[in-house]
Each structure stands twice: as structure tokens, then as C-alpha cells.
Structure 1
Amino acid sequence: MSAEISPDEIGKIAEALASRYLEPYLAVVEERQFSRKEVNDSLWGTIVLTPIEVAVLDSPLLQRLRSIRQLGVVHWVYPGAVHTRFEHGLGMLFQVQQLITALNTAWKLQQTEGTQVSPLIDGRSAQLLRLCALLRDVGQVAFSQASEGALENLAGFTTLSSDFTKELLDDEHGEDRQFSEIFAYHIVRSSAMRSLFGTLLRRFAPEVRFNRDDDDAANASEVLKRIARTFIGRKIDDHLPLLHELVSGPYSAERLDQLVRDARFAGTPSLLDIPRLIQKLSVRCMRADELPQDIAGQISVSPGEDTWLFGVKRSGASVLDELQLAQVLAYTKIYRHPKVVAIEQMVRSFIEAASKLVTPRQLLMFLYSEADDAIVSFSRAALAEALGLGAIQLRSDQEEQLRRAEAILRAIRERSLWVQAFQYPGSYLARDDEDPRARNLDQFLELLMHPEKREHFAQRLRDEVRTMTVLLGNKSAFTDAAFDSMVMIHVPGQIAGETQTGRAFLIQKSGEPVPLSQSMATRGNWAEQYMSEQPRAYIFCPPKIADMVYVAAEKLVRVELDAKLPGLFIEASKREGKVVRDLKRALQPLDYWKGTPYDIHPKPERMDRLDASRTIVKFDELRQSFQEPEADPSQDQASGQIPKNRRTSAWLRQFETSDHVDCALTVLRSFKLLTRDDTVAAVRSFISISTEFEGACVIPFGSMKDSSVMDAYFAPDVGRPFIDGVHTIEEYAALDTSRPLIFLDNFIASGNQATDVLAAWFGREDLRKQELHEKREALAPQTIELLRRTKIAFVFVAGWNNGIDAVRKITKELGVDAQVHCYLTESDLPFAKECLLKAKHDPAKVDGFLKRCREIGRELVASQVRTKPLDAKTASDRELGYGNRAMLLATLVNVPTQSLTAVWMPGKVDGSDWSPLMRRRKKI
């Protein structure tokens, strides 16, 4: 399709179509006599037509409306909704006459009894409005609003409405118009229509004259100009500034017939009480300078001249509420029924395919000339002929588009309909325990509302679905061009007429007329609140790829927008959780999820078992005692977004295979958290075997930044006389006491840190561990001498043998007579391999799990930000925790680096953020 189509080009197309349908008819109307007729309508009973109306209705241009259904594709969902635009035109004519009569009566009742008064809306204007009603849908094409919405979404048509407003109505008020209204505007003002009306007005309605001379052509042009202006909501009478709203307004004939007729034939309820609405119509005579400003700015009369404002009595405000309610029900139950919208998206896909084969002019000529049923029944050859491609040798890509278009028509014909693959609910509440990203979907909604971004997202969806089908071995299922037609995003716009109702005036016995919108503002717009609960966006596609589309949407939202779909979206989207889960699992071994956040990866099947949930709950109870630090955004972007009570399951699902998850569950069950009780037991057990330390002072081993401070705080729980108090080393030196001294720490591994602390205290730089790069100050000489003559012990709550030996060795080298005690030794501590084998896991699966842990640890270590890279050996020695022993231990405030790296280290694994099980607190 070519670039943007202009209003001028639309005018030329309208001119050509009007000529095709009307020129042969011109000779007929010159000779045929048309007389008054009565037509029986299934809703309104007998409708009386004037001769000119009969002549207009008999024209081929109006007769074509018999083959265009009022509700487009709704009959595929509501079988009774087969009424046509032709019937709707007759209904509009009936209702506009009802409105005219009611307003004239209301005006007459305001006059002094016995006063003779001319009708406010005279016969000339009444006939004009009746003709407006008949011609209002003359711009409709096949499939009605379904095609209209599709055309407005095509690249060539997106700016047509705004361009029309700017170019033709730059000096007027009002909003942009729908395509069918713009098209009808041009058709009615075509030369063929002027010729027709020149004859019809002269022969059958000479009283309908708006110019002062006898120029029939000029009069016809003026009449048609006024008719056309009603279609686009512009005034047609300066003294009756709202006269056009009887056709296109808050309580217009078009709305009154549409809402009742559509509900009746669709079989849905409607609460609209038209007789009461008509009874409540009112008229207010006002000087022009007293009119509301937005109306006064549109008319050209002297300030003191009389004008008449139409509205509804203040007591009839509830009738307008009923009108809004009827419209809301029609939209929610009929026009926006998900299956109706799905079929409309199929029509849109068909039109998009056709638009790639023909010019905008050819496409419009095709849609205007063909009937709904005819198009649906087309074979490929018939479709090509109707599009004007029958004699053309098509390229391969054109052949593919033609096949695509015909396939969609066949699917509609056979009712092999698309389904809703995704729905963005009107409102939702994310659970308190859900990922905070589930509350951060505003950016996604903004994307869906933006036409260009929405189409880009749709293309990304198609690419993702195409990738899935290839990975799953279904490459031949669809061609690339077919994919482009099978995923459609639909964002429901504002309800047509939603703001129009608010423009209706409430006319009071005294005081100025008040717009209904002003009344709504004070009492609340219930319709707006109701519609806010309706879905904000849909994605439609064929059933066979619907689950893939949902999965693709979930992935793109998470990866590209850093947001997450709440759990309720899957239910709102009519997807079955198990089916979606199975699809995600099928893609797991095919590397589809590689490089994406783990929280959207499929939940491993092993986690569905009851024992898994029990293990998670039990570990979460253990976690409650762990004083975890806040996540560092520069290093850990995953766990900080996960609620605490979901952290365990989030960590567990990162292992992905059931065998690995099975082993990881044993890791959780085996994990040891050193508690206050362990600290107290460690001190008590030491004093029980070394009674000479009764009444000792306790000092945390290390500095104030070490977790040993917390253990020293717990030590007094042992009670007197076993412990005399807790001090810093400086405080102890100042006490001038001979009491024994216990240095207390929670864990020792290799002993490097402990020996470095002692070497620094005693000023022995030759014994320092320079590779630690720790800055530590030496103790005062008198403090060193005090330590050498004091009875000293080093008590560790838990530790490795080589660490204990290292402390014993260095204390001797430093000339300190010290005892070294470890409460929980290596045999008491959990290590991953030993725990897994003890739990009777298959040794081969244990090796596989530890191999995966090594891979994870390797990537985590490599992803850390450092000023200087680690050498290969050091990095390798940290894959399973420092020392590669895969210990499963934490204290109340920290996780030793010797614990399994996958447990505590954040970073990147397979290109995705890794969420640690327990965050480690770094020293400052």
C-alpha cells in the first residue's frame, strides 16, 4: 500500500463510487413517479416515507445497505443479529421524527394558552433531518465497524481523520471523525449526489429550499452540505445550534435506534426507555450572547438575536443515565464481546493482507462494492478477481498474501475462529507476596496504547512464536507471511458517544442550562467507573498458537520492560495454567529461556510435589532467624525484587531440571544456621572441660565489623559465675584484672583471617596474609604483654580442622599460651556431597548436581566486579565456595564464603541474574 492517503484522495474515491451507483439511476428518477409509502419495521411498526425519501431509498447507493449488516460480524456470535444498515436507516428516520415532534410539542407547551405558534423545527428542517437519517450510513463498507477499525489501523489511513479535520474544518469546532463519517461526507457532497438531489428536490420536495433564488443546483448543493455536516457533528442552523445533534448527538436518532435494535436482535437486555426520554425533552429560548461559550463560538448571529437550545429537563437526568447504561451494556455484551472482537481481528488481518496486494483506492472500491457474505464466500480465484488481480501475473510474495487473505476468509466461513491469547484486565491487584514488578506494568500499558510501539511489540511476538515453532519441530506449520497475519493486538478505544452523553444539556426552570458532564462531576460518573473495569487490551490469534503467544508476551514484558505479568493475567487471558506450564517446560531443554530472567523460566516439575513445598516452608521458617542484608543493586538485581517468602522457591527453580532440584531440596533440608543456642553451647562446653576459665571475660575475636560481635553479645546467656562480662580488648586491658580471657567467634575455616588478625595484633608483619589485603592495627605493647601473661582461650562455635590447627600454631609462634576450642567440628557440619550421598541420592545424580553447581559458581565468580581479575586457580577454588567444599552453613547475620557459592553469591549465570538463597553481608 502506498503512503498516507489524503482527504482529497478519499474525496476522489467517493466521487467515483457515487458516480458508479447513482448515474444510471438519474435517468430513472426523471421519469418515475414516487409517492408516499408506509413500511412496517419490526421494532417501530409503521414508518411513513415521503416521496423524496422513497426515491432516495430506492437508489442503488442505499439499496446496497441491505447487504451490509449493522453489526458487522456479530452474527457469528449472536445468530439473530443479522439486521442491516438499511433497516437501521429506516429506524433512524423514525426516531428523528419522534425527536422533532417532541421538541416542537415542548416548545408549544411553553407558549401562552391559545397563542398560535409556528413549529420550532419547521417542515423544511424536518425533511432535511429525515434525509440525514437515511443517508447517514452511506459511507459504510462491508463488515461495517470491523472493516472501519481495520482501515483506520492501516499505515495509509492512520492520519486521515486528523488530516480531514485540519484541511476541511480548520475553522470549526469538534473532534476527529470516524472513517465512515468522513467517507459519507464526501459521497453526499459528490457531483452525482448533487445531480440526483437537484432533480429530487425539484420534483418531490420543493419546500426544502435554503437559498433565496430559484437555482435548483445551488439549493441541492446547500441541502447536501448541511446533510454532510450533520455526519461530522457540525451545526447546520445558527438559530437552532444543536439541531444537527438530533442525528449525531447525545440522544440522537442514530443512538436511539442502534441501542434498541442491536440489543433486540442480539438477544441481550436493554434498559433504554425511549418514550420517557422523548417526554423529557425541553427547549430554552436564549439570546445568542447568553449561550454557553462553546456553542456561541460556532454560530453567526447578532448577540441580541433569539436562539433555541435543546436539552433534557433536569428531572430527566436519570433518563440520560439509562441511555449511558444501555450503551455500556451494548458495548460490554455485544460490540466488545471477546469472540466478536476476535472475529473483527480476523477481518482486520484479511484487510491488511489485501492492502499489500492493491492500492488504497482499489481496496476501498472493493470493500464498498462487495457484500459481507460475498466476501466471506470468495475462493482464492474469486478474491483475486474481485480485487482486480485476475489478469495479473502475481509475484510469489503476492501469491502468499493472497493465500493468507483467502485462508482467513475460509476460517471465518467455517467458523474456525481466533481466540483470546492474552488480556490486559481493566484492573487487577497483585498479591502482596508477588514480585514487585507485577505492580509495574504502566510502561507496558503505555506501549500497547501507542500505535507504532504496539505494532513493533506485535512483530516481536510473532518472531518469538516463530522461534518456538521451529524449536518444537513445527517449522512447516506456517509460512513467515502467515505469521505476520496471525497475531493481532487490539486496544479498545473510548466508547463512541461516551463523551457525547455528557454534552447533553439539563434545562432547569430557572438558571442556566447545565451540561450533564458537570452533573456527573459532582455525583460521580458511574459509566466511566464501570468501563474502567473492562479489559484494556487483547491479543488474538488462531487457537493452535494461543499458548505460545501468551508465553511470548510474558517473556517480552519481563525481558524488554523489566515488568512481570501478575498470576491472575493467565486466568483473565483464558489460558490453562497447566498447558502453559507444560509448553514452557517443553522449551526448557531447547535453550529457549537461555539469557532470560529465571523468574519466568518454567517451574521444574519436581517442585510440584508435596515434599518440595514442605521443605520450602520449613526452610523459610529457618530463614526468619537470618538477619539478611539489603540487596546491593550494583551486584544483585534479582533477589531484591523478590518477596522474602518467595526467595527460597525462586532460588530452587533456578536449577531447572528435576534431578538438580531434587538435590537442591536436600541441600535446603541439610542447611545449618548457627543460632544463639549454638553460641551459648559452645562457651558452656568449653568451660565445662576447662574449669579454670570460669568467670572469664569474653571478647569478640576480630573487629567491630566482624560478626563475632553478635556471638559475644550472646555469651552472657551462659550466666554467672561462668562468664564475668563482655568487653573489647581495650576495655579488658584497662580493667587491670587477672581474670582469664575468651576470644569468641562463630566460624573458622582455613584460619587465614584468624592468623592474620593475631599477626597484626602482635606486630608480626612477617606472619601476615598479604593476599587478604586487610588493614589492621597492632595492639599497644602493654596490651601485647598483658595477653602473653593472661590465661587465654579461643572458642569457635564451628570450624574446620585446619583452621583450628592454624590458630594453635600461630599462638605458639607469638608466645601466647592459649587453648583453642571448636564446638562443631567438620564432622558436625553439613557439606553438600556428604549430605546428598547420606540422603541416598544416586551418586551419578549427585555428581551431576555438583557439576552444575560448579558451573554456576564459575559464572558467578567471573561476573563479580573487581579492580583486578582473579587468577585462574583462585577462581577455580571458589566455584563451590572458598575451598570448594560446598559447605551448607550460615550464621545469624552472615554466610561464610566457604559455603556453597550458589547459595550466597549474586551475579550472572547463563546470561541471567542469579538470585542467591541467602545474601552475604560484606565487610565495610
Structure 2
Amino acid sequence: MADMPIRSALRDASPSLAEQIDSLCEEWLGTLRASLDEAPQRFRPKQLNDPIWGTIELHPREVALLDSRMLQRMRGVRQLGLAQLVFPGASHDRLEHIMGVVGAVDRMADALERQVARRNGEFKRDQNGEMIPGVDEDERATLRLAAMFHDLGHGPFSHALEPVLELTSPLDSTARDGGEWRRELQGASALLSKRYSLNSRPATSEVIAVMIVTSEPVTELLRSGAFRLGNLDAIEVQERIIACIIGGVAGPGVTHLSTVISGQVDADRLDFLQRDAHHSGLEIGFDTERLLSKLEILQIRDSNLESADPSMRQRIASAKNNVIHQVGIAASGYGSFEQMLIGRTFLYDRLYHHHKVRAAEAMAQRMLLVAERDRGRRFDLAEIFLSVGDDTFLRLVAGEITHPKLNLSSAPASALAKGILERDLLHRAFAFRGRFIAAPPGLGAENADANRHAQWKEVVKRLDGLHARYDLGAEIYALARDITEVLSSADIDRAEMEVMAQALEETGPEQIIVDLPGRKAGAIRILARYPDGSLKLPEFSFNPQKWADAYDLQKRTGYVFCARTVLPVVALASRIAFLRRFGIVMAKDADAYIKAGQTIDTAWLKGLIAAGLIDVDTSALLTSERHSLLRVRAEDLAVPDAWLAEDPDFASRMAGQLNRHLKGGLMAAGRDALTKTLEALWRFVDGWYVGPRTTSELASEAELQKLLTEHLRVTLQVDEGTEVAGGELDLLVERQVLIENKYHGTAANPDKVGKGAGAQGRRYGLALSSQLVVVAAARRMTVKGPVPAKTKAVIVKAISDDNDNRVEIRIDLPFGAKLPSREHG
């Protein structure tokens, strides 16, 4: 596979995808090929007037391609998805952008040619060094073709569609899958990433564009006389176009100009930043002409490269004359480059991630998913890539018009489509952002930020993908239904609850959507040439990577969207769900970002507590105290050094298990109590192992409780035998940690000793708002069984599958060994 031509490798690795794309391209290009055969002279050069680049000249083969259905289907596929619902001018489409990239390619090629001529003139005067390659006509023609192909992988709603295409399994497990070509998409992306040594996988739209270029109909087109480029054959042209689309710097077809279409200063970015800003009415103000004038083709040697990039060093070592060339920038162009980066961030903040734009795009994604679910099978690529614009596609789903190639019947999908068409968009019920995560009191600024950062990373990780967000939305919907039922039964705001219950029934779980925008910023990798001739990464007045990290924590915002009629109950359900699942509460700053009320009705909370839907601590965390939970750190477990000598990973492993099962962490009082309790318990276990307990008899559970109680009371507050929740608990330590003692007088597997103790402790914990249950499980040893090492005698496990932020720590206490025990301490 590694030596196979990239076209063959891609098509062999994704046969179903290749077959579907071949069929589409045959349909799109059939009339073009016929026209070229009959009258190739009919295609003449044309000039287009463009609001960004002025006059753009197209060559005959480009006019032929532009007039094909392959390009014309991009008319009406909006560049910014559904942003025109918020920014009315932002209705420009992908076809306009594609033509703009052709114009930008010409400007970049002209600028690079000027720089190459100047630099080569300097080399001649110095009589030193070899010539820098320029931009010949074949290269320029290839780049222009790549510009015309680079965005053809987009379907309705542009980037909003990509997460739907990336799902390799259906929303409903009962639906017929039909997603083989989606799995092949993932494989093709991985193959491209490997063959071109990319730092990240190509986007789904880029992979589809590459597969279009490698299709049989496009291959035949490139073999025709009208599309011949100098001495390059069709396969060479294909490979160069592929390298341009994915921005390859090494691999099949890569040249010194491959990043002109997709790089860090590329024609695609130069066009869409200006075009999007122009049409949305948002001024970003960076100097495009100066940036273009500072672009260069760098001559990179081991001697002038001041970079630790090992892959580039390897490429230099294997290159002819140990020299490679690629597009870079002069150091004097930093200011313009910085302006571009800042402008891009501004557009993400104000335009691409605008909350109403996010709501509309989330509705479109959900619409497609539930349409697939309700018809019982997934979409074929041909059904998604209909030659219709975004609005027409919405009307098809809404049931207002029909199409012979798309058969749909889904009331929830239709309702979402109509909501978008009529701009009846869902509203913000809950906002979540790293900066909003409330910190427990007394942590200090540095520790609070560290806790907040760790929790935000966990949220982002666990909400990665539409499936995870759909599941959380369904959980919020179920909670909202429970809340309205409980409060209505308790006669609390009965009329309001009945109205919201009816609205929830009518809208369904499909219209509660959890949305989190992706992180787009990446590391800066473009090289800059300094006046002394050295090549290194640009030196900015800010650190782009740290700025991207700060943006992720400070500005990147997720939302829970719902219908206006159910905002109050969904807002409350969202807060409860995020606390249960992630152990976080949003601080009051988040209230300014939502449409729901900024306060929670205390009568509602009292009604939910009375019904057992939430506990007192949950109510406090959601209202007056407004702080989140703490993640457990290894140092919080107070593990003795002797234990760590036996197993150095014990503390970190146990902390990881606790955090996983606690769904986010502990309340501050709970974490302090955990540390104190475990510190005392480790001493108790040490004494148990060092003394005669492992070989002597233990009469009963009462004797175990007596021993443990006496030990703990030396340093801790211990309540014993308190009646609660219809039972009598064993021990409550520091009012936070429940200890259940269990005894088995015959030889037993430690996992079976007091198997239900954790669940019993959970019942008490719900009543006492305790998150921690320790089960001290004494069990008689077998004759042949070794005394387990102390670090192997501790097990952390979930108490139940109810996702209620409670955990069991089980400690095995062996006794009655018939053989002499071995010291493991």
C-alpha cells in the first residue's frame, strides 16, 4: 500500500465511497465531456467581476469546468452555512468563494514570482547559491485547477454538515446502518494523513474533494486534450491537485507551491476572511497587499534552519543537494500576518460562533440525524449531494416540495427544517464555558484556574461528537419531564408546569440540543526569513498557541438550545445534568449569556428535594453557593510512601478512577474529608497487615466495626449507628464519608464480601448528601490463597449506573490465614 500510487491506494481503501463518487461525477460531468468532444472551441476565456479581487480571468478549460454541473451545484450552497439568518448580507455561496480562490491564487503567484526574481537576482550578484524555483505556467495552471476543486466536497450547510458525515454509526441502533462509505471516509482521511505526513487529519470535505479528483470521470476529463497541462500527464496533475487540497509538504505530487491552496497563508484563507467579513459587514482590517508582498519561496538548508522540526531535517537530508523549497514569509511581514490571525479570531468570535448561527447549524445537524433515524436507514452520498441549494434542501425536509432522489417522512425533522426556514430558532437555556466554571471557595486564584482548566478539558473530551451531545440532550429532556411532573403533582406553579409539560411533549427530545463549537486554532508552522538569512518560526508580539489556549478557556462557549416555551425547565434540567455528569456548575457570569431566568425559583428546588429528585447539596450548589466540584488529585489520597514504593502508580491510578466514577469531582468538604479518612484508613490497614490480624480469627462484623471505630475516633469525628433512610448506617466520618463494614466468616472471593454494601451506602448517601462510600470487607483467607499486597486490596468502583456522582472504595481485610502470612508492607 505504501508504494501504491495515491489514487489507487485511496480507491482500493474506500471502494464504496469511490463507487458513489464516480456515479455522482458521471452525472455532473456527462454534458461537459460531450461538449468538449463536439465543440471544444466553444469555451472561450471569460472575465468575472468580483467584490474582493476585482477582475478574475478564467481560461477556456476553467470556463468549461465552471459551466459543468459539478461546479454549478455549488451555487446556493452558502459559504457560511446558515449565518445569513443573523447577518443578512452573508448569503454568498461556495461558487463565489471558489472563483475568489482562483483570483487569490493568481495574486499569490504574481507576488511569489516578483520575490523569486528579486532573490535570484541577488544570488547572481553575489555569485553564490543556486536559483530558487519560480511559478511556471504548468504550476500556475495546476494551482488554479486545485482552487476550482478544493471546495467541491462541501454539501448543504457547508461545514455544519461535516460532523453528520463523520458519524460512522446511526443515531438509533435499531436503524439500518448503511454507513460503510462513512467508515471509508475515516480510513481515507487516515491514509492521506500518513502518506502526506500531515500534523492533523484532513477535514471530511477535503477528503471528499480528493475523492472527486481521483474519480474515473475526472480522470478521463484530465486526460482530454483541453485539460492537458504541458508535459504533465493526468495522474501527475491529480497528485498535485490532491497535495494542494490537503496542504501537503511531503508526499505524492507535492511541490514547493502545494501550500498555496491550503497552508497557513493560503489563497483559501486570504479569500474567505475578506469575503466573509465583507458580506457580514464585520470589518477585520488586515493589509492583504502587504502580506502578499512579503510572501517568499524559501530555500531551506540544514545550515540556515533554526527549527527543531525533525521531519523537516529528514526531508532536507533526503532532498537533492540537501535543499528543499516551500512558501514562507519575510520577517518584515509579521505585522500583516498577525493582523490576519487576529482577524480570523475576531470572525470566529463574532460571526462563526455567534450563538444564533450556532443554534441554526445545530438544528440543521439534528434535522439530518433524526431524518435518517426516522426513515430507518442512513443517507447515501447522492442523497446529500443533490444539485440543490441550502434553502431548497430545507424545503425538501420540511415536506414543502419533493425530489425523486430523496424520500423523507419525519415529523421531528420537518419541524426543525420549518423552524430554520421561518427563523424560529431555538433559544439558549444554558451556557457553558471554561471561564464560567465556578470554583469552590478558598482555593486561591491559581488552584481555581487549574481546577477549572482540568474540568473544562473533561467536558470537551466527553462532548466530542454528535452522539455524546444527543445523549446529554436526551438526559436533559428526561430530567425536564420529571421536573414538570414532580412540581405539577406537588401543586407548585401547576398551570405553568402543565403548559411546559405539554410543550415538551410536542417538541420532543429532538429540540433540546447540546452544542459545542470545535477548536480551530493550531500551532504556527510557517517559516520566516530573517535579514541574516536564517529561517525560523515567526516572533510575534503574542504567543499564538497560548492565545489559542486562552481563547479555548475564556471565549469558546457551548449552549443547550431549546424552544422558548420550555426555557425555564430546560435551564434547570441542564444545570442539574451538568452537575451530575461533570461535577460542574456555571458561575453567575454565565447567566448573561442565556435567555432563561437568572435565578432559580426556590419553591421549585424545595419541591424537587421533597420528591427526592435532587438533594440539599445539589440545591445549594445550584443557587446560593454557586460553586463546582473539585477533581481528586493523587496528593489528596495521602498514600504512605511505603505503599508507593510497592506500587509507584497507586495514587495516580486511584485518583483517576475516582475522578472517572465521580463524573467530575467532590465538594470541597468532601475532598478534605476524603484525605483525612484515607490517611487514617491507611494506618489501620498497615496495622492490620503488620500485626496478627491476617492470621488470627475475627469473630464478627461487630468486632470489625469496634476495631475500626476506635481507630478512627482518635483523630476524626465519627458518628455510629445513625438511623437514616429507613436503616442504620455503620459509620459516618467527618459528616462526609460513609463506612459500611462487612464480614464473611468462610473463605470467599473478596468481591463477593458484602456485595450490596455500596448500594446500601448509596441509599444512606442520598439522604445525607454523601458522595463517598467506603466498604471495609473482612473475609476469611483460603488455605492456599496468598495475603494480597496492600495496594492490591483497594478497589474503586461505581456504585450504580445512575450517574449520580457517588463512588465506592472497597478495602479488602483478610483474616484467618492458615499459613504464615508474608509481610507486604
* TM-score interval (norm. to shorter): 0.5 to 0.7
1:350 correspondence with 2:371: no
Separation (CA, whole Å) in 2 of partners of 1:135 and 1:189: 11
Aligned position for 1:403: 411
Find 1:64's aligned residue among 68, 73, 87.
73
Structure 1 residues 912 and 866: CA distance shift in structure 2, 3 A: closer
Separation (CA, whole Å) in 2 of partners of 1:239 and 1:457: 44
Structure 1 residues 434 and 458: CA distance shift in structure 2, 3 A: farther
1:417 correspondence with 2:425: yes
Aligned pairs (5 A) from 1:312-461: 312-356=329-373, 357=375, 359-362=377-380, 364-378=382-396, 380-381=398-399, 385=403, 388-389=406-407, 402-428=410-436, 430=438, 433=441, 442-443=454-455, 445-450=457-462, 451=464, 454-461=469-476
Aligned pairs (5 A) from 1:666-677: none
Separation (CA, whole Å) in 1 of partners of 2:36 and 2:369: 39
Q: What's the offset of the Cα at 1:476?
A: 6.8
Find 1:54's aligned residue among 45, 49, 63.
63
SS at match of 2:508: helix
Structure 1 residues 861 and 444: CA distance shift in structure 2, 3 A: farther
Find 2:201's aligned residue among 167, 176, 182.
176
Aligned position for 1:884: none
Q: Are the aligned partners of 2:723 and 2:729 in contact in 1 as well (CA < 8 Å)? A: no
Structure 2: give runs of 5+ residues left out of the alignment: 1-11, 126-130, 171-178, 487-496, 625-665, 673-709, 711-721, 733-760, 771-825
Find 1:465's aligned residue among 473, 480, 484.
480
SS at match of 1:193: helix
Structure 1: give runs of 5+ residues left out of the alignment: 211-218, 391-398, 608-636, 644-774, 776-856, 868-905, 916-924
Q: Are the aligned partners of 2:143 and 2:241 in contact in 1 as well (CA < 8 Å)? A: yes
Give the letter aligned to residue 640 of structure 1: A
Give the letter aligned to residue 78 of structure 1: F
Structure 1 residues 261 and 593: CA distance shift in structure 2, 3 A: farther
Summarize deviations over 1:651-705 as a string: whole Å, max 9, x none.
xxxxxxxxxxxxxxxxxxxxxxxxxxxxxxxxxxxxxxxxxxxxxxxxxxxxxxx
Aligned pairs (5 A) from 1:177-256: 177-199=202-224, 202-203=225-226, 206-210=228-232, 219-235=233-249, 241-256=255-270
Aligned position for 1:899: none
SS at match of 1:499: coil
Summarize deviations over 1:246-294 as a string: whole Å, max 9, x none.
0000010000000000001001121221101011112333458977642
**Deviating more after overlay: 100-109 vs 30-39:** 30-39
**Deviating more after overlay: 430-439 vs 123-132:** 430-439
Separation (CA, whole Å) in 2 of partners of 1:404 and 1:346: 11
Aligned position for 2:189: 165
Separation (CA, whole Å) in 2 of partners of 1:35 and 1:423: 54
Separation (CA, whole Å) in 1 of partners of 2:608 and 2:323: 78
Separation (CA, whole Å) in 1 of partners of 2:621 and 2:554: 31
Find 1:23's aligned residue among 22, 30, 39.
30
Greater Cα radius of gyration, structure 1 or 2: 1
Q: What's the offset of the Cα at 1:145?
A: 1.1
Separation (CA, whole Å) in 2 of partners of 1:313 and 1:192: 42
Q: What's the offset of the Cα at 1:230?
A: 1.6
Aligned pairs (5 A) from 1:113-128: 120-128=134-142
Aligned pairs (5 A) from 1:584-663: 585-586=603-604, 588-589=606-607, 594=612, 596-601=614-619, 640=669
SS at match of 1:93: helix
Give the letter aligned to residue 23 of structure 2: A
Give the letter aligned to residue 913 of structure 1: L
SS at match of 2:283: coil
Q: Are the aligned partners of 2:138 and 2:230 in contact in 1 as well (CA < 8 Å)? A: yes
Separation (CA, whole Å) in 2 of partners of 1:563 and 1:248: 39
Alignment root-mean-square deviation, CA: 4.1
Q: What's the offset of the Cα at 1:907?
A: 12
Separation (CA, whole Å) in 1 of partners of 2:730 and 2:352: 56
Separation (CA, whole Å) in 2 of partners of 1:364 and 1:445: 37
Give the letter aligned to residue 342 of structure 1: A
Aligned position for 2:741: none
| TM-score, normalised by the number of residues in structure 2 | 0.65
Separation (CA, whole Å) in 2 of partners of 1:152 and 1:459: 21
Separation (CA, whole Å) in 2 of partners of 1:473 and 1:592: 19
Find 1:541's aligned residue among 562, 567, 571.
562
Aligned position for 1:213: none
Q: Are the aligned partners of 1:489 and 1:540 in contact in 2 as well (CA < 8 Å)? A: yes
Give the letter aligned to residue 557 of structure 1: F
SS at match of 1:285: strand
Q: What's the offset of the Cα at 1:414?
A: 1.1
Find 1:499's aligned residue among 522, 544, 547.
522
Aligned pairs (5 A) from 1:249-264: 249-264=263-278
Identity over the aligned pairs, expressed in percent? 23
Q: Are the aligned partners of 2:76 and 2:390 in contact in 1 as well (CA < 8 Å)? A: yes
Summarize deviations over 1:81-115 as a string: whole Å, max 9, x none.
01111111111111111111111111111233797
Aligned pairs (5 A) from 1:712-861: 859=724
Q: Are the aligned partners of 2:20 and 2:381 in contact in 1 as well (CA < 8 Å)? A: no
Find 2:535's aligned residue among 489, 513, 517.
513
Aligned position for 1:570: 591
Aligned position for 2:743: none
Structure 1 residues 528 and 159: CA distance shift in structure 2, 3 A: farther
Summarize deviations over 1:568-595 as a string: whole Å, max 9, x none.
33334443224xx23x634744667515
Q: Are the aligned partners of 1:284 and 1:308 in contact in 2 as well (CA < 8 Å)? A: yes
Give the letter aligned to residue 192 of structure 1: P
Q: What's the offset of the Cα at 1:539?
A: 1.9
Separation (CA, whole Å) in 2 of partners of 1:444 and 1:284: 40
Q: Are the aligned partners of 1:638 and 1:913 in contact in 2 as well (CA < 8 Å)? A: no
| TM-score, normalised by the number of residues in structure 1 | 0.59
* Alignment length (residue pairs): 605
Structure 1 residues 254 and 114: CA distance shift in structure 2, 3 A: closer
Summarize deviations over 1:271-326 as a string: whole Å, max 9, x none.
22110101111233345897764235468964416533321111212221111011
SS at match of 1:477: helix
Structure 1 residues 87 and 866: CA distance shift in structure 2, 3 A: closer
SS at match of 1:146: helix
Q: Are the aligned partners of 1:35 and 1:50 in contact in 2 as well (CA < 8 Å)? A: yes
Summarize deviations over 1:527-550 as a string: whole Å, max 9, x none.
543454113432222222333232
**Deviating more after overlay: 568-577 vs 29-38:** 568-577
Find 2:93's aligned residue among 84, 103, 119.
84
Q: Are the aligned partners of 1:13 and 1:365 in contact in 2 as well (CA < 8 Å)? A: no
1:486 correspondence with 2:511: yes
Q: Are the aligned partners of 2:483 and 2:608 in contact in 1 as well (CA < 8 Å)? A: no
Q: What's the offset of the Cα at 1:162?
A: 4.5
Aligned position for 1:694: none
Aligned position for 1:808: none
